Amino acid sequence: MFDSDKIFPPNPEFAKNARIKSMDEYYALMDEAKNDYEGFWKKYADEKIEWIEPYEKVLDETNAPFYKWFTNGKLNVTIQCIDRHLKDKADKTAIIFEGDRGDVQKITYETLAKEVNRFANLLKNRFDIKKGDRVVLYMPMIPQAVYAMLACARIGAIHSIVFGGFSAEALRDRIKDAKAKLVITADGAYRKSKPYLLKPVVDDALKDGIQSVEAVLVVKRNNEKIDWIEGRDHDYDELIKESSSECEPEIMDSEDPLFLLYTSGSTGKPKGVQHSQAGYILWAQMTMEWVFDIKEGDVYWCTADIGWITGHTYIVYGPLAAGTTTVLFEGVPTYPDAGRAWKMVQEHKITQFYTAPTAIRVLHKMGEDEPKKYDLSSLKVLGTVGEPIDPPAWMWYHEEVGGGRCAVVDTWWQTETGGHMISPLPGATPIKPSCATFALPGIMAEVIDKDGNPKEIGETGLLCITKPWPSMIRTIWGDHERFKKAYFSDAVKDGKAVYFSGDGAMVDKDGYITITGRVDDVINVSGHRLGTAEIEAAVAEDDKVAEVAVVGRPHPIKGESIFVFLVLKEGAVTEDIKSHINSLLSKEIGNIAKADDIVAVPGLPKTRSGKIMRRILRSIAKGEEIKQDISTLEDPSIVANIQEAVKQAV
């Protein structure tokens, strides 16, 4: 049986050579940061970053919360990720690409340099992409996606990757918001040995024309038949042949934007989270070293998609800045069978494996005994990210995949934080399962109330980061006010607005931090962030719908699933209405936003001022007893009626 109080100390053999070897070392680093915050960061910025010109000030707080780090420093992130490794690692494998069908390609740092430069020259010379221009990537998991990201960074263009599972509508909104000049895509790729297509989605997104977009660059992966618009569409494979493999890096300021990545918030349309150059790359590299304990000779695999922040920081920027070998996988870990991932670990001798709890639950369910069939002895550190991991999944991961000897690091962070914030250190932290444990050295994470008072032990509060950190979000693209409102308006400490994550958390008697989940209206489906507001707006497009409210409901595999409460203008909910709503969700957002439950109810629980009490709906969706006070509702009797409707339907 699982004992929730059990603590898993670090493996002593591993700890001996780890970069941070004990809690004493951890506390010493934390003290250093607390005593001299800027000095702490200066030390690492000086030691780790290959500056073209030195910075002047570590942290500029004059325009808070628009913090600036390493002001007036000059660098190029691709020097950090590629050029500086060419001195002694030119022949080292930078990327191991494994295709869905098992095709493997090993790309050395030298080849990576050439491919990125060729791509950069193509962007510059053929498409006139300049520093500060936005380029949208709608790409599968193939090496050219990485080349494209780094090519943008090489010439100072700002990439904005849109996850390949998003619909044409979602893609269009993101292209428009960023005013992108170029869209880079592929004909498609392979999933479960079958070709699928991406280019038609781009065609659809651009069908009415988007003024800013001048061209579409298409990489061929599966050579399926696609439409071609002469003059707009360009063939990467043809053009790249003529492109030179030498390209001088653009000189970038520390605070120039590196990329945008759209993510869901609790209100309105997705926000373009803007990251910077120096602070971002510094923390991406430091967390690779501390949290994954990356060492020379390691082979590291993160299964995320590059369309999410985890793919940005922990497939591309972090691993390459750390000079390691990073695995890029086109397929799904359960195909052709539930042993695929473990077979890959065996074949590539993977040392660090990083995935989402939802994937662990699927692998556990489909192939409990699969890990035993493979030699997984290369593994040293296992990681999870994106959502809370439940104890049975944690235990299976630890025992069966990690053989009981690997630390499982449950990393808490967000698109906005750029890199890990709260996580065990594999050689130091005694781990409590399903617990993100402690803030990393230099990160001031606190569980407080809105006035900055620490919460009592075991009480849930707001998870805030009370000091700026180098890899933090700089702003929301084109909307500075929304940035302030979304992140710096919920909690104040010592008279200063502090960053609020949107998550709740609690601290136990030993100081361990456990994440309790979002306290805003964001749903986390299989580790994908979706805003209830976006989902509701899509559902409301059905003209039979009078009112709608959407909540998350706990789901054994996905973590949360989408539960839609509908008030219809007339009649009962039919299979037709349900399927229309799901087609709206997949059209407006993507298949990831499809609802598991769609239930018609006689009304929604509203306060007298008209606010929908989603907390009550969450309890009803879960089938829980309602403990909240419902006397403040406009019509308290509605609760029993909704419960009855749900009971009939589910």
The answer to whether 411 contacts ligand WTA (rule: CB under 6 A) is yes
Which structure tokens are listed for 288? 């690779």
Helix extents (H) in 312-451: 318-321, 340-348, 357-366, 391-396
Which of the stretches 155-163, 379-387, 536-544, 617-625 binds ligand WTA when contact is defined by CB under 6 A? 379-387
Q: How far is the CB of 489 from ligand WTA (least distance, A)?
A: 17
Would you say 305 or 588 has its CB closer to ligand WTA? 305
Helix locations, 209-326, DSSP H? 236-240, 278-291, 309-311, 318-321
Strand partners, 513: 437, 507
Query: Could you tell me if 265 and 251 are in contact, meaning their C-beta atoms sit under 8 angstroms apart?
Result: no
Which candidate, 540, 563, 569, 571, places its Cα nearest to that of 620?
A: 563
Site for ligand WTA in 445-484 (CB under 6 A): none
H or E segment at 92?
none
362 vs 545, beta carbon nearer ligand WTA = 362
Nearer Cβ to ligand WTA (137/601): 137
Distance in Å, CB of 554 to ligand WTA, minimum: 14
181 neighbors 189 (Cβ within 8 angstroms): no
* Residue 502 within binding range of ligand WTA, rule CB under 6 A: yes
| Least separation in angstroms between CB 407 and ligand WTA | 14
Q: Which residue is nearest to ligand WTA (CB)?
A: 415
Whole-angstrom distance, CA of residue 174 vs CA of residue 205: 10
User: How far apart are the C-alpha atoms of 184 and 308, rounded to whole Å?
Assistant: 17
Would you give the binding string for ligand WTA spanning residues 515-534, x where CB under 6 A is met? x--x-----x----x-----
- Nearer to ligand WTA (CB atom), residue 271 or residue 467: 271
Window of 196-204, 406-414, 439-447, 629-637 that interacts with ligand WTA by CB under 6 A: 406-414
The one-letter code for the residue type at 267 is: T
Our CB check for ligand WTA shows the closer of 385 and 620 to be 385
- Number of Cβ within a 10 Å radius of residue 99: 18
Cα 416 to Cα 396: distance, rounded to the nearest angstrom: 30
Q: Which two tokens stand for residue 380?
A: 């040293």
Q: Out of 80, 501, 526, 532, which residue is the one contacting ligand WTA (CB under 6 A)? A: 501
Interface with ligand WTA, residue 386, by CB under 6 A: yes
Which of the stretches 58-66, 106-114, 305-313, 444-452 binds ligand WTA when contact is defined by CB under 6 A? 305-313
Per-residue binder mask for ligand WTA (CB under 6 A), 3-42, x = binder: ----------------------------------------
SS3 385: strand
Sequence-distant (≥ 6) Cβ neighbours of residue 31 within 8 angstroms: none
Residue from 259, 290, 412, 563 in contact with ligand WTA (CB under 6 A): 412
Residue 223 gets the label, from left (phi > 0), alpha (psi -120 to 50) or beta, of: left
Which listed residue (388, 442, 470, 531) binds ligand WTA by CB under 6 A?
388
Distance CA 650, CA 648 (A): 6
**Strand pairing category for 492-493 and 496-497:** antiparallel
**Residue 589 φ then ψ, to 5°:** -120, -55
Stretch that binds ligand WTA, among 10-18, 126-134, 380-388, 624-632 (CB under 6 A): 380-388
DSSP-assigned beta bridge partners for residue 277: none
The CA-to-CA distance between both ends of the chain, in Å, stands at 31
Residue 636 DSSP SS3: coil
Question: Binder to ligand WTA among 169, 503, 534, 536 (CB under 6 A)?
Answer: 503
The distance between the two most distant Cα atoms of the chain, rounded to a whole number of Å, is 73
Q: Which two tokens stand for residue 544?
A: 């039979």
- Residue 305 interacts with ligand WTA (CB under 6 A): yes or no: no
- Size of interface with ligand WTA, in residues (CB under 6 A): 22
Stretch that binds ligand WTA, among 149-157, 182-190, 302-310, 549-557 (CB under 6 A): 302-310
Q: Taking each helix axis as running N to C, give the angle between helix 168-178 and helix 575-588, from 0 to 180 degrees, rounded to the nearest 10.
A: 30
Contact between 310 and ligand WTA by CB under 6 A: the answer reads yes
Question: Does 263 help bind ligand WTA (rule: CB under 6 A)?
Answer: yes
387 binds ligand WTA (CB under 6 A): yes
CB of 518 to ligand WTA, least distance (A): 5
**414 sits near ligand WTA (criterion: CB under 6 A):** yes
Q: Does 415 bind ligand WTA (CB under 6 A)?
A: yes
CB of 288 vs ligand WTA, minimal distance in Å: 15
Q: Does 436 bind ligand WTA (CB under 6 A)?
A: yes
Q: Rounded to the nearest whole angstrom, what is the least distance from the CB of residue 515 to ligand WTA in the complex?
A: 4
DSSP β-ladder status, 528-531 and 545-555? unpaired
Interface residue with ligand WTA among 309, 327, 462, 476 (CB under 6 A) is 309
**Applying CB under 6 A, which residues contact ligand WTA?**
263, 308-310, 385-388, 410-415, 436, 501-503, 515, 518, 524, 529
